[in-house]
């Protein structure tokens, strides 16, 4: 590279290629894989390629401001670290490296129930960072409640309940790759913490599932009654479910198909965004993840009504290739790319990104 782009990487695709060359094949299959034939995984990218942007010119773009607020909290840019399990598989410092890089960059970090590091050690490693805790329901409500209490005590500012994984999907690539489907690695939050249930067990003509898979919207009421943390529901793809989430007190929803890892055949997250935004109106914030790789992707999601976007796999690529400085470079790269497309579209602030930016889809 002849210019001064962070770490010599021009795009997140470069980071992906560097990680692919470094990460053991079975871990790579776990990170990259989607459900089934990975149609939805591919659709997530196609959806961004399909969209067009309408630039405005001569608007005076001598200074650009990427700052915004996510659930009221000031952040340096409208993207955040999506929760991803077992970051210790990518780098020995795991989530601690991610948390420190996020804190230094003013980026919100969401950390998984299935983190390699304990939620307390993540908090202690970056005490001033803005952190949310992502919950996978445990078979007993008491165990979920205990995790939530620990997160609240440790200063996590919101609870993200992931609802799109009643069971782990059949992830062909991951299964063939040989990484244990349900629990690829130890979890820092304690030996009793459970990963989502693996595939249903045949019992005659019925299939039985673990207890928490029977959860209904009532669980949201119970969690809300239990904690004062604002509740965010992650894994919503329809306006009806988004409406339900808001009616049950969610302060925000994440439009997500889990990075194509759960339902092969689900729509691209970006294609579900407008429906969800319309359903919740101004009553809750809407975020999006699944396939965000460029500044222009962020712009498109924001123009369609998202308040922020989550970044999943690229954080893992950055961790694998460079640990904490690697994740810091990823944030710089994304910010630089976002600033560039803002300049080229004539938008100098996040609040200036609205539906007037959207052109006719290409197909």
Q: Hey, which residues are catalytic here? A: 258
Using the rule CB under 6 A, is 34 a contact of ligand FMN?
A: no
Smallest gap from Cβ 315 to ligand FMN, in A, equals 8
DSSP 286: E
Using the rule CB under 6 A, is 276 a contact of ligand FMN?
A: no
**Crossing angle of the two packed helices 313-345 and 295-303, in degrees rounded to 10:** 70
Using the rule CB under 6 A, is 91 a contact of ligand FMN?
A: no
Short-list 324, 292, 330, CA closest to 308: 292
Using the rule CB under 6 A, is 334 a contact of ligand FMN?
A: no
Using the rule CB under 6 A, is 162 a contact of ligand FMN?
A: yes
* 3-state secondary structure (DSSP) of residue 195: coil
Name the segment binding ligand FMN (CB under 6 A); options: 122-130, 277-285, 304-312, 333-341.
304-312
Residue nearest to ligand FMN (CB): 312
Smallest gap from Cβ 356 to ligand FMN, in A, equals 27
Question: Could you say which of 129, 259, 305, 326 contacts ligand FMN (CB under 6 A)?
Answer: 259
Give dist(CA 105, CA 91) in Å, integer. 19
Short-list 304, 303, 297, 241, CA closest to 273: 304
**Crossing angle of the two packed helices 141-153 and 218-226, in degrees rounded to 10:** 40
**Rounded to a whole number, what is the distance in angstroms from the first to the last CA of the chain?**
35
Helix, strand, coil shares, percent, the chain, to 5: 45, 15, 40
Name the segment binding ligand FMN (CB under 6 A); options: 67-75, 146-154, 311-319, 336-344.
311-319
Q: Are 287 and 255 in contact (CB under 8 A)?
A: yes
Using the rule CB under 6 A, is 84 a contact of ligand FMN?
A: yes
Q: Mark residues 204-243: x for contact with ligand FMN by CB under 6 A, - for none.
A: ------------------------------x---------
Binding site for ligand FMN (CB under 6 A): 30-31, 44, 82-85, 112, 114, 134, 162, 234, 256, 258-259, 261, 289-292, 310-313
């Amino acid at each position: 590279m002849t210019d001064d782009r962070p770490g010599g990487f021009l795009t997140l695709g470069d980071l992906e290629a560097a990680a692919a060359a470094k990460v053991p094949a079975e871990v790579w299959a776990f990170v990259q894989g989607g459900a089934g034939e990975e149609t939805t995984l591919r659709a997530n990218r196609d959806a961004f390629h399909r969209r067009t942007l309408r630039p405005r010119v001569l608007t005076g773009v001598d200074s650009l401001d990427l700052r915004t607020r996510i659930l009221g909290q000031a952040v340096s840019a409208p993207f955040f670290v999506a929760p991803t399990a077992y970051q210790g598989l990518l780098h020995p410092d795991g989530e601690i490296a991610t948390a420190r890089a996020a804190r230094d960059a003013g980026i919100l970090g969401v950390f998984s129930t299935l983190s390699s590091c304990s939620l307390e050690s993540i908090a202690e490693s970056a005490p001033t960072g803005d952190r949310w805790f992502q919950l996978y329901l445990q078979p007993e409500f008491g165990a979920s409640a205990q995790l939530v209490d620990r997160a609240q005590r440790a200063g996590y500012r919101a609870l993200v309940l992931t609802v799109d994984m009643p069971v782990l999907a059949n992830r062909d690539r991951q299964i063939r790759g040989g990484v244990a489907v349900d629990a690829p690695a130890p979890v820092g939050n304690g030996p009793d913490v459970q990963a989502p249930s693996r595939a249903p067990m045949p019992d005659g003509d019925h299939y039985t599932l673990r207890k928490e898979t029977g959860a209904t919207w009532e669980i949201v009421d119970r969690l809300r009654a239990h904690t004062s943390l604002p509740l965010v529901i992650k894994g919503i793809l329809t306006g009806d479910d988004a409406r339900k989430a808001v009616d049950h007190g969610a302060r925000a929803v994440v439009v997500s198909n889990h990075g194509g890892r759960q339902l092969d055949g689900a729509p691209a997250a970006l294609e579900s965004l407008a429906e969800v935004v319309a359903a919740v109106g101004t009553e809750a914030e809407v975020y999006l993840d699944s396939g965000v790789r460029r500044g222009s992707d962020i712009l498109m999601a924001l123009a369609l009504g998202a308040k922020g976007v989550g970044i999943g796999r690229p954080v893992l690529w950055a961790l694998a290739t460079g640990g904490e400085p690697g994740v810091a470079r990823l944030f710089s790269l994304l910010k630089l790319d976002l600033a560039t497309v803002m300049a080229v579209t004539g938008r100098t602030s996040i609040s200036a990104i609205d539906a007037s930016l959207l052109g006719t889809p290409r197909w």
